């Protein structure tokens, strides 16, 4: 039995700005498809447009990919550096008759188009040089055009869009090499995909029409077509194209907002792809389940609530040490101070009670103030309200009970509950000032968790600070 060909996919971003969330989703789909099948996932930077491509944008893409954990095989390929190869293929096409030299001037082309428009004909340029005798070629600049079929149809069997048909009269003799000899992007993509051994082209459906035109190059070269899967755009919650108006569109903004990469992957995978009713899943599950047949034909709408919800579940499910490792770069991108060894240790010990109910690392860090800050814990405005004279009295009275308590969850609960009962106090009357004393904040883990994490001595110290501070 013949062995199935190894799957090779790629992401081919143009480095002309930041990394768009749509590019990240396309990358994820390609990564899942290849990695789930023991295939290869490649990276090609489409930097042929020298005016618009910048090294900073390339860096931003590579960083975004790394943050998302989408690793690629081998080095990132620069399309620009492959110009000699593109030219070589164009020469081959010229030699075989699959392409021809066109000496038409821009003025001639404009005049053709204006006339065509006036007469209600297609404005696709019909070059007089297509069948010209080479003996008549002038010594003048020329472009290289593909010799596209003029009748019949071009069909793309797309894994998402189904069978899509174009009348060949609608496809023009597209330019492969410009008059300065540089390849067009439309042409370079085909040569690169072929040379890189790409078997599956999974990309945005804004490239669907390009597939028809690009397929002509494959045919002219006698190359096999890749499998195509053109995935629908991402829309904003209102059904309009996702834009800044709806919220962040750059991948790095999501990192800075504190979303965990695993939650982001889960959410982006669900954005336009589904596996039954599964919403929350692990990478292992996504790798096992992902298939082109699960990609929806309709555009997906970005739902920030759902993203947060999934991110919260991923934070809660993650290993404590992995969370600490991911929080450090998060702090770095937000410009926060790096963790000291002492803080990192505290964060690790507290993680079990911090990771429940935090939807972002920002929320988690806020709750971690009791372990990241240091004495004296000056209460913020809200916490201050829980430290009125009566509450401070409660803290003072509670102190000996904590001094004598056994330092375990049961021991602490017993000490606090015992004191509450003896004084006919509701637990909240004690927990609120205690929380304010321990953290100086109102959004914290439970007081028992905080006391367990920081220990007896530190607990009593902070209570003393709060009680004394109030005396002044």
CB of 23 to ligand GLU, least distance (A): 7
Q: Which letter, b or e, does each residue of 365-400 get, where b requires 16 or more Cβ atoms within 10 Å of its Cβ?
A: bbbbbbbbeeeebebeeebeebbeeebbebbbebee
Of 49 and 283, which has the nearer Cβ to ligand GLU? 49
CB of 57 to ligand GLU, least distance (A): 11
Q: How many CB atoms lie within 10 A of CB 240?
A: 11
Of 202 and 364, which has the nearer Cβ to ligand GLU? 202
Please return the burial class of 90, using the count of CB atoms within 10 Å of its CB with bins 0-12, 13-18 and 19+: buried
426 is catalytic: no
Of 14 and 58, which has the nearer Cβ to ligand GLU? 14
Please return the burial class of 428, using the count of CB atoms within 10 Å of its CB with bins 0-12, 13-18 and 19+: exposed
Of 44 and 392, which has the nearer Cβ to ligand GLU? 44
Choose among 119, 145, 120: nearest CA to 132: 145
Of 11 and 353, which has the nearer Cβ to ligand GLU? 11
Q: How far is Cα 168 from Cα 148, in angstroms, rounded to an integer?
A: 8
CB of 22 to ligand GLU, least distance (A): 9
Please return the burial class of 120, using the count of CB atoms within 10 Å of its CB with bins 0-12, 13-18 and 19+: exposed
CB of 16 to ligand GLU, least distance (A): 8
- Helix pair angle (21-35, 55-68), 10° resolution: 50
Of 190 and 327, which has the nearer Cβ to ligand GLU? 190
CB of 254 to ligand GLU, least distance (A): 19
Of 13 and 346, which has the nearer Cβ to ligand GLU? 13
In which element (H, E) is residue 177 found?
strand 175-177
Residue indicated by tokens 């669900």: 270
Which alpha helices (DSSP H) does 128-184 contain, by range?
Answer: none
Site of interaction with ligand GLU (CB under 6 A): 12-14, 46, 189, 203, 207
Q: How far is Cα 203 from Cα 207, in angstroms, rounded to an integer?
A: 7
Of 176 and 365, which has the nearer Cβ to ligand GLU? 176
36 DSSP 8-state letter: T
CB of 189 to ligand GLU, least distance (A): 5
Residues ≥6 apart with Cβ < 8 Å to 361: 258, 259, 260, 315, 326, 327, 330
Catalytic residue (one of 5, 240, 244, 382): 244
Strands 153-158 and 200-204 come out as unpaired
Choose among 433, 299, 419, 453: nearest CA to 379: 433
CA angle 323, 327, 332 (to 5 degrees): 165
Structure tokens at 95: 């030699």
CB of 206 to ligand GLU, least distance (A): 7
CB of 203 to ligand GLU, least distance (A): 4
Q: How far is Cα 66 from Cα 72, in angstroms, rounded to an integer?
A: 9
* Residues designated as active site: 244
């Amino acid at each position: 039995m013949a062995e199935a060909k190894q799957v090779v996919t790629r992401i081919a971003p143009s480095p002309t700005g930041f990394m768009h969330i749509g590019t990240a989703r396309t990358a994820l789909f390609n990564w899942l498809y290849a990695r789930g099948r023991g295939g290869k996932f490649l990276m090609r930077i489409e930097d042929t447009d020298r005016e618009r491509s910048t090294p900073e944008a390339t860096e931003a893409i590579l960083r975004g990919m790394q943050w998302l954990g989408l690793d690629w095989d081998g080095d990132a390929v620069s399309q620009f550096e492959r110009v000699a190869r593109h030219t070589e293929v164009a020469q081959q096409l010229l030699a075989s008759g699959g392409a021809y030299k066109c000496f038409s001037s821009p003025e001639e082309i404009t005049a053709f188009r204006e006339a065509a428009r006036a007469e209600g004909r297609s404005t696709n340029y019909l070059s007089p040089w297509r069948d010209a005798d080479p003996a008549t070629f002038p010594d003048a600049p020329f472009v290289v055009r593909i010799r596209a079929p003029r009748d019949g149809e071009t069909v793309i069997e797309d894994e998402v869009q189904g069978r899509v048909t174009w009348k060949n009269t609608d496809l023009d003799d597209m330019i492969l090499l410009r008059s300065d000899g540089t390849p067009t992007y439309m042409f370079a993509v085909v040569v690169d995909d072929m040379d890189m051994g790409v078997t599956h082209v999974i990309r945005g459906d804004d490239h669907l029409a390009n597939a028809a035109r690009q397929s002509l190059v494959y045919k002219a070269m006698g190359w096999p077509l890749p499998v195509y899967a053109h995935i629908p755009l991402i829309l904003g919650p209102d059904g309009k194209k996702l834009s800044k108006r709806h919220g962040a569109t750059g991948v790095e903004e999501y990192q800075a907002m504190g979303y965990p990469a695993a939650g982001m992957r889960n959410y982006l995978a669900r954005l336009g792809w589904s596996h039954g009713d599964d919403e929350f899943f692990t990478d292992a599950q996504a790798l096992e389940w992902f298939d082109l047949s699960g990609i929806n034909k309709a555009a997906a709408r970005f739902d920030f609530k759902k993203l947060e919800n999934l991110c919260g579940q991923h934070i809660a499910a993650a290993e404590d040490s992995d969370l600490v490792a991911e929080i450090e770069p998060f702090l770095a991108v937000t410009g926060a101070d790096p963790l000291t060894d002492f803080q990192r240790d505290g964060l690790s010990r507290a993680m079990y009670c911090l990771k429940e109910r935090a939807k972002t690392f920002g929320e988690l860090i806020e709750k971690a103030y009791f372990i990241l800050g240091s004495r004296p814990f000056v209460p913020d405005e809200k916490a201050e309200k829980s430290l009125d004279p009566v509450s401070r009295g409660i803290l003072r009275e509670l102190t000996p009970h904590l001094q004598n308590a056994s330092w375990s969850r049961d021991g602490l609960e017993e000490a606090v509950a015992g004191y509450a009962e003896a004084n006919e106090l509701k637990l909240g009357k004690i927990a609120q000032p205690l929380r304010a004393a321990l953290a100086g904040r109102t959004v914290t883990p439970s007081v028992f968790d905080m006391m367990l994490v920081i220990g007896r001595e530190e607990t009593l110290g902070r209570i003393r600070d709060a009680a004394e501070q109030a005396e002044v």
